[in-house]
Structures are given as structure tokens and as C-alpha cells.
Amino acid sequence: MFWHFAARVAAAALSLPALLFALRFFQQTGYNVARGYIRIALSRCFVCGAICVALLVPVEILLGDYSDAVLAGCSFASAAVALSVRAKVLLKFTRRATRLFVVSTVACTVGFLFLPSYLLPLLPFLVILPCALLLLPFERSINAKYIRQAEQKLSRAAYIKIAVTGSFGKTSVKNILTEMLSSKYKACCTPGSFNTPLGIASYVNNDLPCDAEAVVFEMGAKKRGDIDFLCKMVKPRYGILTGIEKQHLSTFGSVDNVIAAKGELLRHIPENGICVLNADNVYTRRLDVEACPTVTVGATGDVAIGDVSVSAAGTSFCLTVGEKKRTLKTRLLGAFNATNVALAAALAYELGVDAEDIFGVAERLKPVPHRLELIEGANGTAIIDDSYNANISGVRGALEVLSCFEGKRYVVTQGIVELGREQFEVNFGLGKELAAVSDAIVTLGQNCKALSQGARAANASAEILFADTVGEAASLLAPRMRAGDVILFQNDLPDSMI
């Protein structure tokens, strides 16, 4: 009896890495039960647990006395797999995560003491759902109070409030604008990709400096009404709409809904404010520009961009701000970064930053991590880390940069996700574009078929490789790499593929 109990206690202790693994996935999906479970079910850790269940069923039937010992061994294997996964985004032990972890740990402990052994390898993943649902009313109440607290602080704030939204480039434009504004103001911005109500509330309630003079808020959306809610919360006087693309169609439903959602920003900019628009973006032209005062950026915009040249070393372009015109050279890769700089420059100039200061900041900009970030590889090779890019416009920009390299060019990608009914068609077209510039393509995830068929439609001899994880993809390409060769890691690759 003692050994059975000891084996179960050991198995329960070894289940903690799997529970933390599941909790991290839930946190990354905003504690969305459906999306969280889909990501968990696609992970190596869950697959390992499922294999252990399949192993323990016959053991329980044929060797009941030894099932707990086998369970401990299976739990050790699951723990090893969970600990071996390299997380792109680490678990943050917020108060909500801590509450869910404590309740789930208690549920797991009870389960390990009383449930049949063959169910237990998957228990850490299965308890998350009922525990999250149990805590949901409590969490909603806390979240509403937390957001109201931030709204009250924002309503009393005297600093300049700026909203940045769009289907792409939000984080880059936010960071660039903050650097430009710092020439004149004590400027700051929401960190990372904090672009949800709770993310913004967390920043306002806990981290926003009390002496700030200008604050840039990044705003994200998955459905109509999201930007409207964030604008009512923040009440921005100024805004930037970076551009609109077919993205998150699985939640938006159509590109018309994406346009309507992003356009919600314009209705919240007051008459004494300004919204900067990307005039070169085809979908932006369909917005109601009479809703508020606007400034346009583009080839024929109020702030003009011209003579864009992209190389493996960076991007050069001509930028006209006010009465001044300058040819700039920046380390940022990709033609779209010229637009990002111009969008930020347009608003910075409207807010009184001198054009010369704007030009100086533009030439000193450093790449944002995981967004066309050039990394020196081993033995003269290069890596382009574009793993946070998840829209077709950004992918095309990345392929333009890739074509600037003279050696062999390789791409690791899962394609574009969350496109609903258009997903196959868009990724089929992307496969064609990949085949035009790369020597080999490694595909991962659900879009492998569309990408490979598109690539072979463009080039029957295109070399297509398949991998389950980024690590496996790197292993496939490592023996091929020579000095001068480059690998592009493209799109928002989830932890299940790392």
C-alpha cells in the first residue's frame, strides 16, 4: 500500500511541469478555453501524455499491481518533455495565473489520489478547463474593476494620449514614435504587445510613469468593437492607423469587418486631434476620412516617401517632413519600415518635434526583436528572425529582404493563420511567392499542403521539406548552410513548433 501511495505522490509531483506548460498556453491565448485547448492538443507534451494513457490502459488491465509504478515512469517522461520545450514567451505568474495554478494543483492532487492510473498522464491538461470555468465569474469581476481603475486614471491624465492600431506594424510604429517624441517630451509607451484592455490597464495601473508627458498606446483587435472599447477607455487625442490587411479573419469574418473595426479609431479622435493614415494601403482608402482631421503618409501623402532602396544592410529612403527633405539610411530591414518611420514622423512633427530631430532618430533606430531582425549565424551564415510577423504584407516585405542576399536562401514558415475560409487560398499564393525567392522551404503546421502546392505550382522543381518543430527544421537545414547563406524564420511560430 505504501509503495502505491509513494508512486502516486511522485507522479503528482512530476506532473507540475506539464501543468505549468498547460497554464502558459492558456495565458498566451488570453485564457480563452477553446484556443488554449487547441494549442495544447497540438503540443508535444500533450501527445506524450496521450501515448502514456495508451500505454497505461493495458498495464492497468493486465498488471494492476504495477500500474502506479509505470505511472510514475510516464509522469517522469511527460515532465522531461514539458521541460525540454523552449518557450518563446515565458509564463508570467500574474495574480490570475497564480489563482488558476493553485486551484488546478489542488484538483490534480485529488485526481492523483483517487482516479485510475491510466487517466492521470493527461490530468494536468484536463483540469485546466473546469478550473478556469470555476474561476471565470470571479475573474470577470476582478477584470472589470481593474479596467475601471485604469479608466479613472486615464480620464484624469494631463499627458498627450496617442493610439496606434492597424493590421501590421503597430509595435514598430509605437516604438519609433516614442523615440521621436522623446526629443521633446517625457514619452513612454505600452510595453511589448500589451494591446488589450487588460494589458493597457496593467500598464496604466502599475507601470506608467507619473511624470509622463506623452504616452503611446498600442491597440489590437480580433473583432468589431474591440478598438471602440479601447478608445473609450483611453480617450486618445491622436492616432496612427498603420494599414489594414486580411488578418484574423477567423474572428473578424471578413475583410470588411477588419476595415470597420480599425476605422473605429477615427470616430474617437476629436476635432483638435489628428489621425495619421497610410495612404499607400488599399484598404485604408475605404475608411471614412471625414470622421476626424487626418494626415496621410505615402508616395503622394502629406508626408512623402520616395526612392526606397532595400539591401541586406538596411533600408534607405527619401522622407519629406514639413518643408524639409532628407535621404535617410536606417538599419531597419524592409521597405515597409520606411512607411513605419514615416507614419511615426508625421505625428511627431504634428506634435512639435523638429524635423532634424526626427531625421536623427530615424537613422539611429535599432531593429525590434523578432521583426526582421538580422542575426549573425555560425561560420558566416545569417539568420533573419521574423517570427513575430503574421500578415501577408509583412511576409512580402520579408521576402524582398531575403532576395537581397547572394547565398543560398532558406525559409522556415507555418504560413499565415487565422484566415478562416481564405486560409488555403492565401497560403497557396504565399507558396508561389516563396518558391520565387528561396532555394528550399521548410513548412510546419496546418498550412503545409497549401504552401507546398503553391510552391510547386510556381516551380515544379521547388524543394519542399516538412518538419514538426522549428528545431527539427533547423536540423534539416544546418548541414546545407555555408558562408553567405541565410535562413528566414517567418511568421508567428507558436511554442508547439519550437
Which tens digits make up the pLDDT trace of 385-417?
Answer: 888 766 788 888 889 889 988 889 999 998 888
CA atoms within 13 A on the CB side of 112: 27
- Among 10, 40, 18, 24, which Cα is nearest to 112's? 10
List of the chain residues with pLDDT < 50: 66, 494-498
- Extended beta strands in 322-388, E state: 324-330, 373-376, 382-386
Which DSSP helix (H) or strand (E) runs through 489? strand 486-490
- Say which residues have a Cβ less than 8 Å from residue 481's Cβ, sequence separation at least 6: 377, 378, 379, 381, 408, 410, 487
pLDDT in the model for residue 498: 40
75 touches 143 (CB < 8 A) = no
470 touches 444 (CB < 8 A) = yes
Distance separating alpha carbons of residues 395 and 288, to the nearest angstrom: 28
Q: Which three cell numbers stand for residue 333?
A: 530591414
Biggest CA pair distance of the chain: 86
Say if strands 486-490 and 409-413 run parallel, antiparallel, or are unpaired. parallel
CA terminus-to-terminus distance, the chain: 41
- Among 399, 382, 430, which Cα is nearest to 246's? 430
pLDDT in the model for residue 246: 82
pLDDT in the model for residue 495: 44
- Among 267, 236, 7, 17, which Cα is nearest to 124's? 17
Chain-centre distance for alpha carbon 204: 21
Q: At 305, is the secondary structure helix, strand, or coil? A: strand
- Say which residues have a Cβ less than 8 Å from residue 200's Cβ, sequence separation at least 6: 150, 190, 194, 217, 219, 230, 233, 234
Residue listed under C-alpha cell 537581397: 404
pLDDT in the model for residue 408: 92
How wide is the angle at C-alpha 400 spanned by C-alphas 324 and 329, nearest 5°? 30
95-114 and 2-14 are packed helices; what angle lies between their axes, rounded to 10 degrees? Answer: 150
DSSP string, 91-119: ----HHHHHHHHHHHHHHHHHHHHS-GGG
Distance separating alpha carbons of residues 497 and 54, to the nearest angstrom: 24
Burial 165-201 (b: 16+ CB within 10 A, else e): bbbbbbbbbbbbbbbbbbbebebbbbeeebbbbbbbb
DSSP structural state of residue 127 = S
- Among 109, 122, 115, 123, which Cα is nearest to 51's? 122
pLDDT in the model for residue 496: 43
Q: Which three cell numbers stand for residue 27?
A: 495565458
- Among 337, 453, 447, 463, which Cα is nearest to 411's? 463
CA atoms within 13 A on the CB side of 365: 35
pTM across the whole model: 0.83
Residue listed under C-alpha cell 503618409: 297
